[in-house]
Amino acid sequence: MSAAALQLKKTLADAIKHQMKFDHLSISSFARKTKTNRHAVRRILDGKNTSITLKTMAKAAEALNLEMTLTVKQLPLGKLGKIAGQLAATDDSKKAAELKKQFVEGYYGKPVNHLHA
């Protein structure tokens, strides 16, 4: 489980809990509002449970009139520099290819695969 996935889920769960408290919504009433069950709501509210789809995340946020955004940023220059240094120092072509991929993805972001539901 990646740190980024955990942080994203924790942020979403915290925002939903906060809005539920503000709106005086119980788990049962939120479940009715999202047309799901209490068990599913508990998974949404569990900041450590990352087995949730973007569709479900968006549905939960929308039910509370929250706007959900996802931001992708470059790796910090220090990390990119470390990868570049390792790339310059390696003689292993396989390792060089992997480091180059890490560097490009760290700078430009990982490619997004377009899938149709």
**Which one has a higher pLDDT value, 19 or 74?**
19
Does residue 72 carry a pLDDT above 90? no
- The DSSP secondary structure of 44-103, one letter per residue, reads HH-TT-----HHHHHHHHHHTT--------PPPHHHHHHHHHHHHH---HHHHHHHHHHH
**Is 88 buried (19+), middle (13-18) or exposed (0-12) by CB count in 10 A?**
exposed
From-to residues of CATH 1.10.260 in the chain: 3-63
- Give per-residue pLDDT as tens, 33-62: 999 999 999 999 999 988 888 888 889 999
Does residue 112 carry a pLDDT above 90? no
Indicate the CATH number of 3-63 among 1.10.3470, 1.10.260, 1.10.3300, 2.50.20: 1.10.260
* pLDDT number for residue 117: 38
Return d(Cα 44, Cα 55) in angstroms, integer: 12
Return d(Cα 63, Cα 113) in angstroms, integer: 27
